[in-house]
Every structure is written in C-alpha cells, then in structure tokens.
Amino acid sequence: MRKIYIFDTTLRDGEQSPGVNLNTQEKVEIALQLEKLGVDRIEAGFPAASPGDLAAVNAVARAVKNASVIGLSRSREQDIEAVREALKGAQDPCIHLFLATSPIHRKHKLRMEKQQVLETAEAAIRYAKKYFDKIEFSPEDAGRTELDFLCEVTAMAIRAGATVVNIPDTVGYMTPSEFGNIFKVLREQVPGCEKIQLSAHCHDDLGMATANALAAIENGADQVEGTINGIGERAGNTAIEEVAMALETRQAFYGAKTGLVLSEIARTSRLVSKLTGMVVPGNKAIVGANAFAHESGIHQDGMLKEKTTYEIISPETIGLKDSKLVLGKHSGRHAFREKLIDLGYELSDEKVNEAFAKFKDLADRKKSVTDEDLRALIEEKLIQTPELFVVEAIRVSYGEPQTATQATVRLKAADGSIHEQSAEGNGSVDAIYKAIDKVTGEQVELEDYSVKSVSHETDALGEAHVHLRQGELSVHGRGVSTDVLEASAKAYMDAVNRLVDKRNNPGSTRAGSMKLL
C-alpha cells in the first residue's frame, strides 16, 4: 500500500492563526507530541521572521530525533542562512523555499515577469543545495498559476535540486477536480517528476481543504501538508487527522495510508488546543466533542444493537475510550434504560416509564442531561431514602492563616438523639466533612464536590453536590441553602444517608445500585 508522507505545519502555518503565539517551550512540547504521533516532517517555523522564531526552530531541531525538522525560507540568501543556523543540531534537516508564481502575485506582490521568477527561484534552490540535502520548493499560489507555467516551474525546481515540490492552494480557491488535475498533469508532463515527491498544501477558505488534499492523493501526491485540528491563517489548513482517518477508513478506495500512530490523534488534538487556546468546535470531524456522540433515539437504538450502524470509525482508534450516548430530548427509552443500567440502576418497566417521563420533562429544560442529573432524578424522585441523620447546625471558626479551620456539627439521628462533634480541616468544607464522619463512623472517599448558585442575587440559594464512594458503592448527594457551607453539609449528609441505605438494603427498591421493581 502506498505511503503518504505527513508534513505537519502546526508550528508554522498553524501559529499564524490570529491570536496564537507559542513560546519556545510550547513549540518543543507540541513537536515532541507530533513525533509520538508519527508525522514524517515537522515545519517548526520561519527562522528569518525574528530572532525568537530562529531560537524556537533550533530548540525543536535539537529535541526531535525521529522526524525531519523543516525551516521556512523565502527565496533569499539571508533567509536561507537563517534556516541553516536554526537547523544546526537537527538529525534530519530540510529547508522549505517558496516564491509566488500566480499572475496576481507576480504583478502586484513581486512585480516580476515569469523569467525573473524562474531565475530567482532557481538561484535560491542552488544556493540552498550547498547546505541542505533535502529541499522542498513551493510555488506560492500554485492553484491560481497557469498550468503550463506551473509545469515549467516544477521542471526547473527538479533540475536545480529540489527533492520535494509542493503545490499550495494558498487561498483555498481550488475545487477537488481542479486541484487533482494539477497533480495528474505534473506527473504526466514534467520530466524527472518520478524522481521527486509531490506535496499538497491546502487552505480551507471554501471548506474544501481535506477534499482537495485527498484529490491530490488520488492523482499522485506523495505528501500532504496540514495542521492538527486544521488551525491556520484565515479559515485554516487541511486537518491532518481528517486525511489520516479518511485513508484509514477508506483503504480499499484510496490504496494509501499514512504512517501515523492513530491512537495518538486525540491526545495531540487536546495538546494543540490547550497550548494555542483555539477551542475545537464540537462538530469538528474526528476530534470534535460530538464526533462520537449520539443523541437521536433512532441512532442510539442502532448503536446499542450494532455500532457500525451509525459509526464508521471506532473511537478507540484515535485514542478515545468509547462512544457517548448523549441523553437529551431526542433520546429514546432504549438508550435511557441502558444508561441507567450503566449507572447501577435496574428498573422494572413501570419504573422505567415513570423515570423516562420525568427525564423527558428535564430534557426539555436542559440541553443535555448528565449522569449526576440522572442519579438525582432516580434517587430523589423514585427512591425514598431514610434520613439516618439530619444536619441540625454547623459552626465554623477560623484562626491564624497557618492554623487549621475548626468545624462543629450537630446532627439529629433517626431516633431523635442529638450528636455533636468537632474536627479540624484544611478549610471549612474539609473540617465539616471530617466532623460528620466522626458522628456517623463512616469511612468514605469524596470523588467529586461542586457548588453553584441557583439564582443570581447575593442571597441566592447555593446548591451543593457531592459524589461519595465506599468500596464498590457509589452515591450522589445534594443540598440547598442560602449558606453554601450549610448546603455543602446537607449534600454530604444526604450522600452518607444514601450510602448506608444502599449498603444495608442491596436488594430493596431504594438501593439504586440493584433493582427497582
């Protein structure tokens, strides 16, 4: 099967996204992850742009061992010298030269005739050849360059010593059939084209970057250039993860694949998103939050019966754990029942119908229903948990900053007796929870704690949620009060009551983790 080389320009073209400014440490961190991903070539930056960029490219060149590190250069000797300096220490250095060739660029930007463009580019390639074994040349705005002139430029680059000729659709103007045809013509008409690699560099201004890159592959491209998450100037570049997964999923059609470690895709996407500050849209192909999420009842039913009914890629392939059946107003009863089973609740048909009606009412008011929402719905609406203890009062005292906070809690037991204990903790909530543990004698693990306001005034109700675990038992607790510390205490006490009841009555209709008949 034909290998398609991956040229990653996240650190160069991707960093040109408005608002993105990676420092040297961040560039190295991304480069090392790209190395784990298995990209063949990493374009680390534009060394002539600034001393800082030169230093960053050099840092990447020294850190990366298993991929070729590339520096971008205009067709100028001083730029070539900057790349030469930046790539000192690189295991496999390569220079990427470019010069515009389209009529609009020749006239308005370069103010050059065709012959001047040819001579300038050839001189730059020959100069770079003195220092670099690997040279990539890009006729900028190749998509809008006359095809006969593009053939002439490519032939010149091959004669001068280029090892890769890249065809950039610089402004995202091409359609797949037009862009693919460029590669077909170059392969058929340019002498020596079989001795070098042809590369495709696409932009997404018309939303066709990935389609254009795949069309190039169909017509003889050896390499695709792009970025993680498709970031880049204006509408961005070809998304590398999209090309890789298209080739993987449609191997029989394309007869080609990349050398990427596909299970590193999700991790790489998250890292680039975090360090660039560019949030991945939920509906982004392959790496978006919704790429493996299903809400429609019909789709969820199909997924539960056979995943391939609605999923052509396994989430595990890109390094995710599993698909998500998102519960919302479009979800069906089948998915709802399966979700409750996953959470530890097995309900009778009657209870499922009752719970499903309450769920639908909740889903009409919320965009999505979380696991905690479902736990609260089942345990608060359908299960009546005995109150073994009730919070009567709490008192918190603070000392010097270096001393622990002390809390005293007074609890009323089910038999009417009053129990009071004090404890010190690392903050108010910690001290309160330790005091409650002293009264109840329970040893539990607090897995999650959150508090939020129910309304927006200064006297707003505070709603606290806790998630406790004791061995295999897991419970959710909720408390509401205008005092967030009281709400926190009530939530913890609510959870402890549920935990004790679940442990003592594993088969009862209140247990939640077993059956609701």
Helix (H, G, I), strand (E, B) or coil at 192: coil
CATH topology of domain 2-276: TIM Barrel (3.20.20)
In 3D space, the residue among 145, 96, 90 whose CA is nearest the CA of residue 121 turns out to be 96
State which CATH number among 3.30.160.270, 3.40.50.620, 3.60.21.10, 3.10.180.10 fits the domain covering 389-516: 3.30.160.270
Phi then psi for residue 16, to 5 deg, are: -80, 0
- Please state the pTM of the whole predicted model: 0.67
Asked if residues 228 and 222 have their Cβ atoms less than 8 Å apart, the reply is no
* Contacts of 118 by beta carbon, 8 Å cutoff, 6+ apart: 152, 153, 156
pLDDT in 10s for each residue of the chain, 517 residues: 899 999 999 999 999 887 788 899 999 999 999 999 999 999 999 999 999 999 999 999 999 999 999 999 999 999 999 999 999 999 999 999 999 999 999 999 999 999 999 999 999 999 999 999 999 999 999 999 999 999 999 999 999 999 999 999 999 999 999 999 999 999 999 999 999 999 999 999 999 999 999 999 999 999 999 999 999 999 999 999 999 999 999 999 999 999 999 999 999 999 999 899 888 887 888 887 666 554 455 555 554 566 567 566 777 888 866 655 555 566 677 767 776 776 667 777 777 787 777 777 767 766 666 666 676 666 555 555 678 899 999 999 887 666 678 999 999 998 999 999 999 988 899 999 999 999 999 999 998 898 877 545 555 567 788 889 998 888 878 887 778 899 899 999 988 998 888 888 765 444 333 333 3
Phi then psi for residue 391, to 5 deg, are: -75, 120
Count of Cβ atoms closer than 10 Å to residue 407 Cβ: 26
Tokens of 327: 């519960």
Q: Where are the domains of the chain?
A: 2-276, 293-366, 389-516
Tokens of 356: 């499903």
β-strands 445-453, 462-470: how paired? Answer: antiparallel
* Contacts of 93 by beta carbon, 8 Å cutoff, 6+ apart: 61, 68, 69, 70, 71, 87, 132, 134
